[in-house]
């Protein structure tokens, strides 16, 4: 494999030199790009020789020198980005595929301890016990292991909190994660529970930027997520992707403004069993005057509200929500009454909704919507993967953008055309 940045290289059979860009590289035999080799010199200094296969390759298990930056992992003799935290010495794989340096990470563990005095270090080998102590360490990333009790307040600055498979932030009163008006916060690979609400971003003239990625926000005391700024210049941003919002009795997500506007990007999530028959919000209540909002590839199932309120999505915005599943959400209607799945000014396209209908328009005709339920693996237990017999497995907009937040589903499965509607790509 030839490395990027090297142009106009020429090799000839039987020659022992490579010519290019004004330099000559001595080798110990014929040079065959990606071909056979006897040693590293045979690869012209561009790759290394895998002596087990006698091929020029980018890296081997014993020599990963070439694997740096956004491609730190050697797999199958080629460098790639990390996909799991365990692939990094720091135990932190960042969203861009690079590994965080351990010195830039504050570690928190259920078995850790906070220092009695002084500024916490929260090192990998001596983790702190609370996220509050880790915030005092002043590092850009916090890594959580195990279940951590206590509420977290982040007033300002930029911080990313990531977790192991068993990582949970379990509130003990008030919001589990309380985000100040000038903070930029990413929550990734975490469970957020027992908060009132689970995650909160409020405040006058808030410009908070909140990202909830690959996480579960469930079993909180009230809402799962609340973003509710005030003030004419308020403009927070909420991103929720590849996450599960479940069993939050006041509702899954509420975006509500009393001044300014919120931008929300809600893509590739499951909203299951949120709300109660005594509360007015089920899956999500979204109010925003912004024109750059996104509500795509989500599954809303078995959310519940008080009679007369839409139990799936309440949406007051100008957006066209696409490629969603909104089924079996209930306001307790019985008999011939039809439970409203959605309400508000938002339009929908390429969406499965049942029972009842959702409004189309906005350039995507209502005819692209399907008013029946797709077939799930186990709807009662919340397994909302599509079965192979489901009409939803290739029903997404054929022109849908399958990059960015929609690139992967909550399982990490890449979406591909023709894509499935809802949170999960059928495979």
**Considering the domain boundaries, does residue 40 fall inside one?**
yes
**Considering the domain boundaries, does residue 219 fall inside one?**
yes
Q: In this structure, are 286 and 420 located in the same domain? A: yes
* Residues 264 and 238 sit within 8 Å (Cβ to Cβ): yes
**Considering the domain boundaries, does residue 256 fall inside one?**
no
From the CB of residue 399, how many other CB atoms can be counted at a distance below 10 Å?
A: 10
In tens digits, the chain (427 residues) has pLDDT values of 333 333 333 333 333 333 333 333 333 344 444 568 888 888 877 689 998 889 999 999 989 999 999 999 999 999 999 999 999 999 999 999 999 999 999 999 999 999 999 999 999 999 999 999 999 999 999 999 999 999 999 999 999 999 999 999 999 999 999 999 999 999 999 999 999 999 999 988 999 999 999 999 999 999 999 999 998 899 999 999 999 999 999 999 999 987 788 999 999 999 999 999 999 999 999 999 898 999 999 999 999 999 989 999 999 998 999 999 999 999 987 665 677 899 999 999 999 999 877 877 544 555 689 888 899 999 999 999 999 999 999 999 999 999 999 999 999 999 999 999 999 999 8
Which residues 6+ apart lie within 8 Å of 326 measured at CB? 283, 300, 312, 313, 341, 342, 348, 351, 352, 353, 358
Q: In this structure, are 69 and 120 located in the same domain? A: no
Q: In this structure, are 74 and 96 located in the same domain? A: no
Beta bridge partners of 313: 284, 342
133: helix, strand or coil: helix
Residue finishing a domain among 239, 259, 283:
239
**Total number of domains in the chain:** 4
Q: In this structure, are 283 and 345 located in the same domain? A: yes
Q: In this structure, are 87 and 202 located in the same domain? A: no
Closest CA to 105 of 138, 82, 73, 129: 138
* Placement of tokens 């109660």 in the chain: 276
Q: In terms of residue numbers, what domain contains 331?
A: 268-401+411-427
Q: In this structure, are 328 and 395 located in the same domain? A: yes
229: helix, strand or coil: strand
C-alpha distance from residue 20 to each of 6, 9, 10, 25, 230 (Å): 8, 5, 6, 9, 62
**Considering the domain boundaries, does residue 139 fall inside one?**
yes
Q: In this structure, are 289 and 416 located in the same domain? A: yes
Residue finishing a domain among 239, 256, 278:
239
**Considering the domain boundaries, does residue 244 fall inside one?**
no
Q: In this structure, are 363 and 393 located in the same domain? A: yes
**Considering the domain boundaries, does residue 34 fall inside one?**
yes
Q: In this structure, are 272 and 372 located in the same domain? A: yes
Q: In this structure, are 71 and 98 located in the same domain? A: no
C-alpha distance from residue 366 to each of 32, 357, 395 (Å): 58, 9, 14
**Considering the domain boundaries, does residue 357 fall inside one?**
yes
Q: In this structure, are 421 and 272 located in the same domain? A: yes
* Residues 107 and 127 sit within 8 Å (Cβ to Cβ): yes
CA–CA gap between residue 176 and residue 356 (Å, rounded):
36
Residue finishing a domain among 80, 100, 127:
80
* CB burial of residue 276 (10 Å; 0-12, 13-18, 19+): middle
Q: What's the pTM value of the predicted model, to 2 decimals?
A: 0.88
**Considering the domain boundaries, does residue 292 fall inside one?**
yes
Q: In this structure, are 277 and 392 located in the same domain? A: yes
180: helix, strand or coil: strand
């Amino acid at each position: 494999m030839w490395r990027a940045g090297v142009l106009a290289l020429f090799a000839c059979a039987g020659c022992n030199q490579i010519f290019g860009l004004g330099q000559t590289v001595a080798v110990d035999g014929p040079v065959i790009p990606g071909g056979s080799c006897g040693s590293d010199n045979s690869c012209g200094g561009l790759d290394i020789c895998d002596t087990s296969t006698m091929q020029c390759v980018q890296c081997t298990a014993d020599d990963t020198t070439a694997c740096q930056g956004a491609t730190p992992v050697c797999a199958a003799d080629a460098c790639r980005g990390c996909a799991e935290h365990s692939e990094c010495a720091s135990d932190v794989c960042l969203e861009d595929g690079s590994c965080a340096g351990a010195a830039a990470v504050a570690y928190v563990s259920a078995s850790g301890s906070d220092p009695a005095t002084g500024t916490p270090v929260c090192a990998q080998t001596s983790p702190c016990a609370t996220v509050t102590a880790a915030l005092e360490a002043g590092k850009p990333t916090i890594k959580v292991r195990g279940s951590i009790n206590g509420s977290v307040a982040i007033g300002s600055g930029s911080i990313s909190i990531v977790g192991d498979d068993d990582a949970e932030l379990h509130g003990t009163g008030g919001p589990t994660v309380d985000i100040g008006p000038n903070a930029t916060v990413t929550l990734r690979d975490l469970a957020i529970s027992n908060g009132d609400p689970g995650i909160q971003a409020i405040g006058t003239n808030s410009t908070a930027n909140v990202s909830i990625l690959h996480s579960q926000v469930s079993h909180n005391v009230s809402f799962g997520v609340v973003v509710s700024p005030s003030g004419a210049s308020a403009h927070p941003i909420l991103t929720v992707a590849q996450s599960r919002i479940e069993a939050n009795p006041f509702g899954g997500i509420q975006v509500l403004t009393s001044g300014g506007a919120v931008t929300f990007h809600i893509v590739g999530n499951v909203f299951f069993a949120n709300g109660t028959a005594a509360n007015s919000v089920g899956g999500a209540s979204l109010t925003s005057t912004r024109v750059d909002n996104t509500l795509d590839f989500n599954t809303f199932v078995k959310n519940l509200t008080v009679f007369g309120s839409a139990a799936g999505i309440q949406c007051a915005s100008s957006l066209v929500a696409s490629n969603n599943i909104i089924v079996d959400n209930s306001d307790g209607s019985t008999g011939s009454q039809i439970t409203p799945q959605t309400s508000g000014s938002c339009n929908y396209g390429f969406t499965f909704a049942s029972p009842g209908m959702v409004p189309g328009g906005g350039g995507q005709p209502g005819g692209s919507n399907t008013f029946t339920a797709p077939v799930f693996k186990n709807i009662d237990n919340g397994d909302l993967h599509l079965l192979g017999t489901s009409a939803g497995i290739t029903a997404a907009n054929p022109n849908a953008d399958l990059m960015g937040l929609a690139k992967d589903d909550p399982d990490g499965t890449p979406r591909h055309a023709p894509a499935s509607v809802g949170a999960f790509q059928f495979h």
